[in-house]
Structure 1
């Protein structure tokens, strides 16, 4: 079976790229699970969500927090273009917990900081 060519990038850097068996991302329209041979699709990433990638080499799954951006699939190539992206293994858990506390204490109608803090913790494997 063919694999997917995946690129997860932010304006600062290429966060991860390689061959994968599957990619799961949350878009504003709902969750998308992508396997090789998937029809072309373009979606808007849900700001403060998690992308999961299952590497083709059988390695540990790649889990990353993503901010707003786009998700596209065409010809077994998946592009995740995120305003912010951080691998779960790179997350400073204590800083993410502090950011969540601050977001919860803030009297704001903007839920983005809370969603992003929760996504950072989920990417790191910590339930918030």
Structure 2
């Protein structure tokens, strides 16, 4: 039976590796995408979300990694994700993520008052990242 070798790489190096995955689910900018062994070659941009990796498609057991967007390439049963950051639930500092969420919400309110579109967009991305980290930490 074919497997997927999964690698998640950040500027700090290899963040996650699994040589025996049977299913990987990611969120692209166009929606959710499931990758099985022998998938056609593909390169897609990823959204801020979790990556779910299963060694057995029928099992509920899975590895979850929070990523802050990035790019995924699948070729020859090797799935590579290049992201700015990637964290497993046990690596997430929840109190830090909560503080980042609160800061982003405050900046969003201020940017709306000042009609600062650039600051608003940056704060919305920061808020998405914080919420993603908080959600993944609970899994």
On whether the aligned pair clears a TM of 0.5, the verdict is yes
Q: If the length of structure 2 is used for normalisation, what is the TM-score?
A: 0.81
Q: Does the residue aligned with 2:11 lie in a helix, a strand or coil?
A: coil
Shift of 1:60: 4.5
1:59 Cα deviation (Å)?
Answer: 9.5
| Pair member with larger Rg | 2
1:37 — aligned with what?
38
Whether 1:7 and 2:7 are equivalent positions in the alignment is yes
The structure with the greater share of residues assigned to helix is 2
Structure 2 gaps, min length 5: 111-118
1:15 & 1:52 partners in 2: Cα distance? 14
* Alignment root-mean-square deviation, CA: 1.8
Q: So what's the TM-score if we normalise by structure 1?
A: 0.87
Please give the per-residue CA displacement for 1:13-52, whole angstroms capped at 9, x wherever unaligned. 2111122111111111211111112111110011x21111
Aligned length: 124
Structure 1 residue runs of 4 or more that deviate by more than 4 Å after TM superposition: none
- 1:55 Cα offset (Å): 3.2
5+ unaligned residues in a row in structure 1: which ranges? none
